[in-house]
Structure 1
């Protein structure tokens, strides 16, 4: 029982740990999934924000292009255009300036108070519009102005009525606008936000480092294997910078050739999960310790109870043994070790009742040591006791079946109870006993035979319901006693049957 209890407590503790581990792992997966969902939503929001930012600038450019192509650019229009550009820049916070360039790359009008001077025909965006008839917006490469600020250009071409190239309208977007906006997001100490062109040019990076502006991402695995091949998605991989796992989400703009990518440190994402798991694990371990202490106490109590029960069983067995011993003493003759008179009376009643139920017979042999008083007078009572013990030892070998009983009936009288035995069989047994006692050759000077002998009376009864006699067990004893009297009258050292009493009328 103690072993089963130990196994039970072990299974409970292991089950608690298993369930706790499974819940912790499930919580970890849910935490990662939630983080992936969050950065996917963040990427969608940032892409939409970028689209809206560039779209706002492009709308301004579209309006300027329409006005230029309708009204042209002359000395009368320039002041009005200058005010218009200034107003538009003041209305859109991401714009650093709007510029109008002629077909040779010379500035015509801009939004600044100090007009820009110098030819920019060598710039990428100017050459693109000059060489392409595409009227849509063009996102040019990064430009660093003389003050050291990075700008991203959005430009459109405007033409003469006959379709010839007339110039470029340019909007400069301040990169700090994106950098400041991206800094408002909580992405952890090792998180990353990147804004880049679809050709792999890095525009904005958070955290910001000037050296990364304009960096080519074409060889970076996340860009090469995922961004270039999908419009949006997520991916978890070790960082090429520090080798730590990062959860990445990316998304291309819908209207402009740019993309935004977000990376979160998996370690930082799981920080709160680790803290919760540690607290939960500590609580589980504390619970297991409490269970172990309670279980240990319970096991001790169980063990103590089992030991007490074992001691009680031993005490009970000892008491039963003592009771049996006392019972045996109560039913045993102290001198010969045979059953005593009380034991005999109980056995006789039981066998009589059994014979009555089974319609069977019960036989009885009653023995008396011949001239035993004289034996005691000659040899003393101690010798008489030894004589009875030797005869009892011989008689103890007679019972061969369950129910057979040898008892000391009183003084030198002994009885042998034989259930399910006929009168003839009982007489033969009595004769064998008589002969065996003669063979003991116990000296008896007062006996005519000079040795100890016995007389035996044999009786048999078959109980019947019709008899109506309540004293039938005693009747068997009386019949055996009468037969014994006949044996003594015949000169002793012989066996008489109860039917001999009727034949031999000389003895009442």
Structure 2
């Protein structure tokens, strides 16, 4: 009888101990599952937020590059007009830019009637008149030179979906004179989005600030151009903040998703990255279901819990690595875009945009020190004859050689050399007076002559340059910084009129 009582006591004690231990472990596991859920949600929020920001930066880089291209082309069109010869020159410039932005589908200039003046790709599968396009109607009815990002359309060049980025052309009196437009292939954006792991039901979208859906991945034709301005994102969240995390049920497929959104400050485009709530919480939900079973099977609890915890951490680690890799790829692409945006592709010198920025900053810096500043404009003599007779590849090589000569001519770290446009180069020389500037201009002329580049269609028998020089006290240029460039340009024309292959000086 005593043994039976002892056995029962041991049984009850063991049972109670197992129950207590199981209860403690259950509470511990319940706490762990709750904590894991919060951590999973936090990591998901962080991951989609980082990805939406990275894609926003990528999109802004593409849009900036497109804006600079369309601004350059429209400015050239307004300056030189739409005559056939200038249209051919503009088309050549377009082709030089074609390789710099892989997303470009076409670049087109339309006249005031909507007819094509010139295009990067002249083969049209549809009608050549675009007076019916939304971007054309917008610019015809709205003055101003701001670029306009239009709704997606099917390209009349190749029949593919594109986004239009356009700019109004005007006559010298400000009247409407046509439209310059860059079209970006949507399939290029989809190719990038497709490389990012957002699950089977994940979605990446790009929307205008007015609620027009430009791109949605995965792609469906009926999604493109949809109006979503009445969605919670536009009605609720974007009215309070430009970026954040939200959860909602999609109107397109009725799937609940966690999504991050970011509105671009420059262009107003809204980037969203969304993951399915079911997919995102799948790992946590699986652990929660197992908890009910693991309460009764203590030994298996430890093994299974350890296994799923390891599995969960491995998945999260893999996801973080993939996201980090995608972020690095996008970061590298953005760095390359920055270089493209600041560098002249042919000569490797600073481009016109950097020259304009540096001119303002260097004048301001010299003005603070009450110092002089000089500007040189270097122009290749009889360059059109060179191009016409030796061909444009030879002309490009000639300009590249001249770029190297100009690079070697500057010595100070604060001296800037830039390709101003066509066969014109510019130098900004802070703290340099007229005597030094004239000496440098004469030196450049000698160096170019010494290079002895054959030019049988020039009276000099070789490639020569003319140099316009201007010097001014920086403090006198406040508010009229371009005046020193105009003075240097006037000096250049004096040198040209005096016979070329020489310099001339005009005070700024």
**TM-score by structure 1 length?**
0.53
Q: State whether structure 2 residue 186 is matched by structure 1 residue 175.
A: yes
Partner residue of 2:211?
Answer: 200
Taking a change above 3 Å as real, the CA distance of residues 58 and 241 of structure 1, as seen in their structure-2 partners, is: closer
Instruction: Summarize the Cα distance change of 1:238–1:213 in structure 2 as closer, same or farther, 3 Å threshold.
Output: closer
Aligned counterpart for 2:120 among listed residues 94, 105, 111 = 111
Q: Which of 150, 155, 169 is equivalent to 1:145?
A: 155
Residues 20 and 284, structure 1, Cα contact 8 Å, conserved in 2 = no
Which residue in 1 is equivalent to 2:403?
A: none
- 2:176 paired residue among 141, 165, 171: 165
**Inter-partner Cα distance in structure 2 for 1:225 and 1:5:** 58
Contact 1:51 1:254 in 2 (8 A): no
State the distance in 1 between where 2:32 and 2:301 align: 21
- Give the secondary-structure state (helix, strand or coil) at the position aligned to 2:272: strand
Match of 1:493 in 2: none
Q: SS where residue 151 of structure 2 aligns?
A: strand
* Partner Cα separation in structure 2 for residue 176 and residue 290 of structure 1: 49
| 2:222 pairs with 1:211 | yes
Following superposition, the deviation at residue 290 of structure 1 comes to 9.9
Let me know the Cα RMSD of the aligned residues.
2.7
Measured after TM superposition, the shift of residue 228 of structure 1 is 5.1
CA contact (8 A) 1:89 1:96 kept: no
Aligned mates of 1:21, 1:244 — CA distance in 2: 28
Deviation at 1:52, TM superposition (A): 1.1
Write the distance in 2 (CA, Å) between the matches of 1:102 and 1:89: 22
* Residue in 2 that maps onto 1:330: none
* Structure 2 counterpart SS, 1:91: coil
Cα distance, 1:284 vs structure 2: 6.8
For 2:118 and 2:27, the matched residues in 1 are separated by 74
- Structure-2 separation of matches of 1:199 and 1:211: 18
| Structure-2 change in CA distance of 1:223 and 1:288 (3 Å) | same
1:130 counterpart = 2:140: yes
CA contact (8 A) 1:205 1:213 kept: yes
> In the TM superposition, what is the alpha-carbon distance from 1:256 to its structure 2 partner?
1.1
In the alignment, what sits opposite 1:252?
Answer: 263
CA spacing shift, 1:188–1:138, aligned 2, 3 Å: same
CA distance in 2, matches of 1:91, 1:140: 22
Match of 1:184 among 195, 200, 208: 195
Query: Which sits farther off after the overlay, 1-10 or 218-227?
Result: 1-10
1:35, CA displacement in angstroms?
A: 0.5
Structure with bigger gyration radius: 1
Alignment match, 1:67: 76
Residue 176 (structure 1) shift = 0.8
Residue pair 1:234, 1:247 contacting (<8 A) in 2 also: yes
Query: Which of residues 260, 263, 269 is equivalent to 2:280?
Result: 269
CA offset digits 1:294-337 (Å, max 9, x no partner): xxxxxxxxxxxxxxxxxxxxxxxxxxxxxxxxxxxxxxxxxxxx
**Residue 76 of structure 1 aligns to a residue in which SS?**
helix
TM-score scaled to structure 2, two decimals?
Answer: 0.53
8 A Cα contact 1:139 1:257, kept in partner: no
Deviation, structure 1 residue 40: 0.4
Residue 13 (structure 1) aligned with residue 22 (structure 2):
yes
Q: Distance in 2 between matches of 1:42 and 1:197?
A: 19
Shift of the 283–194 alpha-carbon distance from structure 1 to 2, 3 Å rule, reads: same
Partner of 1:391: none
Question: 2:50 maps to what in 1?
Answer: 41
How far apart, CA to CA, are the structure 1 residues paired with 2:301 and 2:205? 52
Q: CA deviation at 1:64?
A: 0.9
Measure how far apart 1:203 and its partner are: 1.5
What residue is the counterpart of 1:221 in the other structure? 232
CA separation in 2, counterparts of 1:224 and 1:183?
A: 29
- Does the CA contact (< 8 Å) of 2:168 and 2:179 recur in 1? yes
Q: Distance in 2 between matches of 1:23 and 1:277?
A: 10
Partner of 2:132, secondary structure, is: coil
**Unmatched runs of 5 consecutive residues or more in structure 2:** 1-8, 303-508
Shift of 1:57: 0.8
